[in-house]
Structure 1
Amino acid sequence: MTKDHDEVRDLLAAWAFGALEPADEKKVPLHLAECEDCAAEAERLRETVRLLDGPQGPQGPQGPQGPQARPAAETLPLALRSRRATARVAAHAAPYAAAVAGLKALLPEAAGRWSTPVVHDWDVHATLAHLLAADEPLADRLGIDTRVRPPLDIDADTPWEDAWNRRTADVIAHEYGRTPEETVADWAAQADALLATPEAHDPELAAHAVTLMGMRLPVAEHFLVRAFETWVHTDDIGRAVGLSVPPPPEAHLWQLVRLAVRILGLSLGPTAPPVLFAVTGGDEWVLGSEDEPVRAELTLNPVDFCLLVGGRYAPDEVPRGTNGDEGAVRNVLERAASLAWL
């Protein structure tokens, strides 16, 4: 039962989005009939998907600059009701499939407002071009043809940050010579191609590690990175055009949180002052040295933590609960914010 329980819990997000593999379609309902905990979690996830597909209720967590940073609370009922079903993919790719579906639902609401400033010095059109470029390294590694020609021609020993900045600037410049609708079509086609790869459907194929954007991770986790960035930029665009974008479904959000915590722990290394880090509603981790007593405690909301790692909060602005050595806490917050390249 424990093995089945763990397996089914990992499948609940895909179940809620109708993205189960055929082999799992009988397993999940049978387990839900016997397990009250999983049934309750499944019901919460299904309700989240229902809300995503229908009229939105009150606005969710505040944006990184407080309530004044998000325009008057409009919602996305028409767009989200017409959102296409997410692709049938494995659990590791389900967050990306959902994020792509969410952005596809939002973009019709941005029509005619492509020049609206969004983030950095990008408008809506440039933000879509940025995502087209950002998906490109994983697409290229999985054998998908580059959508923007010519592809990046840069020395192999160029630091990845420099290579990435040059490529995204080149793609944005290229896309400004095309219509926003053409950019949207190419972004959507590339995203759909990623979700059609064998690696999006087979966890074993997605288990091999590759280095992209300076990070050596399993392909499965690179799909989570793509989900993370797609959601953050969807939220950017939503706020820019005055629409409230919901956070990822709970199970997907926790997949992003766990990945971000692991990357943050690796970035801090084994000698940083140890901090007990908790994400509300989830687990706790000791970040930093394991050879000395914990110096401080830090608690963040899961959405706020993801926005911090995504560069949408400054370290001194993110809402948090703390106790103990403020210097140790500040070290964790600053390191988390430094991970952002979005």
Structure 2
Amino acid sequence: MTDDAEGPDGDGHELGGQDDEVRGACRIPGPRAAADDFDRGHVTPPPAPRPQSAPPPPEQADGRPGQPGPPGLPSPPALVLPHRVLKALLGAWALAACSAEETEAVEAHLTECAPCADEALRLRDAVGLLHTDGSLDLDPLLRSRVLETCLSRRPAKIPVPGWAAPYDAETARLDALLRDIGASEWHAPVRLKWFEGEHAVNRKTTVAGVIGHLMTVDGLISTALGLDDPLADSVPGVPRRGPGPALAPTARTETYWSAARRPPTRAVREPWRGQSHTLIRTVSVAGRGVSDLSVSYGEFALPLQDALLDRAFECWVHGGDIAEAVDYPYEAPSAAHLNRMIDLAARMLPAALAGRRRAGLAGPARQLVTAGSPGRSLHLEVEGLGGGDWYIALDSPAAVGSPDHAVAQVALDGTEFCQLVAGHVPPVEAAAGQRGDREAIQDVLFAAASLSRL
């Protein structure tokens, strides 16, 4: 008989799936685990085989072990399948999706057929690759690196100002998250948290409601630049451009939510993203002078460069709220951008502390601030990502903190400090290293939480 003669199974093999040259080869893979036994790279070993002298008892109709059958009852015959069927079952075998009879037939065949044994090894290794511990999400800094490489080869004719880069990056990261979620997840409940007075408060909305909130508050910058106010589309009487009602961020959001005829949907993403692109394009074209333009927040005002940094911070915080609601991985900003966000909060702390003092929520100033004495300071040491050292003036919002007059020190992780400023961590629970004047430390921690808002 020639080598290419076909056996009874019609596939170039003898009955039972073996060639003369490979008959008797023992190439079966080692003990195999089910596909869902993989856990962080560990494979649960299969159970030890039963002794041949003690066959397993039969099962009852409900799947429970039954009583052994009468002695001398013959075992059911082994399943006999042609080679082409056994070969087709290799994928299911690797995934542990075969029946017990099919598994026994396949594994018996693998001890006799070398080509199928090799294929089984490859398939088993492929199944292992399906259970990886690594994240399949893109590196959040990938976009920045790609843009940096592109711009290093061909600089932009109108570059984005450095002070607007955090807002540009955070809106792009949040947009990437929104593009990746399903239509139903836009209605997932999101609980927004912030701090008022001495207590933490919260408000329930949806993913779409959060994006509407961001768009509405970003409208403060739009109106300062002479652009369209998104609030005009939903609230009668609000001019599309020019000075409108002096509403603080919380009041603008509540007005937007209450004026909507129906809850926001995924349709809000396009106008929000278009608005962020317009803001970046406008400040890039306007040049340097626009960075000091005053943006009113109702009770206070910020220069445009700080206002955009504030909006970048809120975009990151609410991006994290959305990611938590839809179970999506979301990283902190880059170290350089996070450092600038922390710096803005540190610069706003003296004014926040003075406001709490006027409301009777903080201890009185203890030293008179003069030209020769800036008063007491607190050393804020931020560790980890975006970290650094800041000295917070305790006795006057106009004073400049000095290391020579520090009466207390607080140490916090960078992201934890930002969560405190966002109102997501109560001041009494902030895991801070503390040393020095306890009253001053408590006043500063509560002042940091008071910077949060809806």
TM surpasses 0.5: yes
**Which of 208, 229, 242 is 1:125 aligned to?**
208
Matches within 5 A, 1:1-342: 77=137, 88-111=159-182, 112-119=184-191, 120-148=203-231, 149-151=233-235, 153=237, 160-161=247-248, 164-173=249-258, 177=262, 180-198=265-283, 202-269=287-354, 271=365, 274-280=377-383, 281-289=387-395, 293-342=405-454
- Structure 2, unmatched stretches of 5+, are 1-132, 148-155, 192-202, 355-363, 367-375, 396-400
SS at match of 1:77: coil
Q: Is the 8 A contact 2:378 2:440 kept in 1?
A: yes
Amino acid at match of 2:205: W
Amino acid at match of 1:141: A
Q: Distance in 1 between matches of 2:328 and 2:244?
A: 42
Q: Is the 8 A contact 2:408 2:441 kept in 1?
A: yes
Question: 1:106: how far off?
Answer: 0.5
Q: Is the 8 A contact 2:235 2:256 kept in 1?
A: no
The one-character-per-residue Cα deviations of 1:274-325 (angstroms, maximum 9, x if unpaired) are: 4222212312314313699533211111211111111111101222111122
The one-character-per-residue Cα deviations of 1:99-140 (angstroms, maximum 9, x if unpaired) are: 000001111233221222212211111111111111111111
SS at match of 2:329: coil
Question: 1:265: how far off?
Answer: 2.1
Task: Label 1:123 to 1:176 Cα distance change in 2 as closer, same or farther (>3 A).
Answer: farther
Question: 1:172: how far off?
Answer: 2.7
Q: Is the 8 A contact 1:298 1:329 kept in 2?
A: yes
Q: Is the 8 A contact 1:199 1:219 kept in 2?
A: no
Q: Is the 8 A contact 2:291 2:305 kept in 1?
A: yes
The one-character-per-residue Cα deviations of 1:135-190 (angstroms, maximum 9, x if unpaired) are: 11111111221234244758x998854xx434212323455737623101111111
Question: 1:97: how far off?
Answer: 0.2
Q: Is the 8 A contact 1:76 1:244 kept in 2?
A: no
Task: Label 1:249 to 1:231 Cα distance change in 2 as closer, same or farther (>3 A).
Answer: same
The one-character-per-residue Cα deviations of 1:205-231 (angstroms, maximum 9, x if unpaired) are: 212333224332211111101101111
Q: Distance in 1 between matches of 2:247 and 2:258?
A: 20
Match of 1:22 in 2: none
Q: Is the 8 A contact 2:296 2:302 kept in 1?
A: yes
SS at match of 2:417: helix
Task: Label 1:166 to 1:198 Cα distance change in 2 as closer, same or farther (>3 A).
Answer: closer
Q: Distance in 1 between matches of 2:285 and 2:269?
A: 22
Task: Label 1:306 to 1:190 Cα distance change in 2 as closer, same or farther (>3 A).
Answer: same
* Paired residues, number: 267
Amino acid at match of 2:437: D
Q: Is the 8 A contact 2:380 2:410 kept in 1?
A: yes
Question: 1:198: how far off?
Answer: 3.2
Amino acid at match of 1:114: W
- Give the share of equivalent positions with the same residue, in percent: 30
Q: Is the 8 A contact 1:268 1:287 kept in 2?
A: no
Amino acid at match of 1:333: L
Task: Label 1:141 to 1:188 Cα distance change in 2 as closer, same or farther (>3 A).
Answer: same
Q: Distance in 2 between matches of 1:76 and 1:127?
A: 26
Q: Distance in 1 between matches of 2:217 and 2:244?
A: 20
Task: Label 1:257 to 1:107 Cα distance change in 2 as closer, same or farther (>3 A).
Answer: same
- Structure 1, unmatched stretches of 5+, are 1-72
Higher radius of gyration, 1 or 2? 2
Query: Which has the larger share of helix?
Result: 1
Task: Label 1:264 to 1:82 Cα distance change in 2 as closer, same or farther (>3 A).
Answer: closer
SS at match of 2:424: coil
Amino acid at match of 1:118: V
Q: Is the 8 A contact 1:296 1:324 kept in 2?
A: yes
Task: Label 1:332 to 1:231 Cα distance change in 2 as closer, same or farther (>3 A).
Answer: same
Q: Is the 8 A contact 1:203 1:220 kept in 2?
A: no
Q: Distance in 1 between matches of 2:390 and 2:252?
A: 38
Q: TM-score, length-normalised on structure 2?
A: 0.53
Q: Is the 8 A contact 1:276 1:287 kept in 2?
A: no
SS at match of 1:245: coil
Task: Label 1:235 to 1:191 Cα distance change in 2 as closer, same or farther (>3 A).
Answer: same
SS at match of 1:214: coil
